[in-house]
Structure 1
């Protein structure tokens, strides 16, 4: 039986990854919906999430450097669900 990662867990993983890269506290980041990152931090966050979840998002080359934590959690959850189902 395969247990899928929940959107809630993925959201916390995103926040943890942002905090690890930027040095901001969990409390500061967890209350935000949208987070803007500089290019270096963006690449680090995206690379770490892709490596941890073993997926490719295509986000690394995006010109956008701002993410909605909740929207990203939903997108990653859907992508992981598609991989496991197919």
Structure 2
């Protein structure tokens, strides 16, 4: 089981035979495992001043990311997959 957070989109079109078709698509923003039949442990991450996001008008601090952690794309949102 998974949990999906996003938007449902419905669109209608005419197929090759001229039949009117309607499709519903999921525009997923977040996907996570459902905890219905699982356990999870929540741990609080402490941030240092270097890890905090820059305030408006300030330049970002030098990057210090653990090995193997991907960088977010230019839009600021992490890649969904």
Give TM class, smaller chain. under 0.3
Structure with greater helix share of residues:
1
Structure showing greater relative contact order (alpha-carbon pairs closer than 8 Å, 6 or more residues apart): 1
> Which structure has the greater CA radius of gyration?
2
Q: Provide TM-score, normalisation by structure 1.
A: 0.26
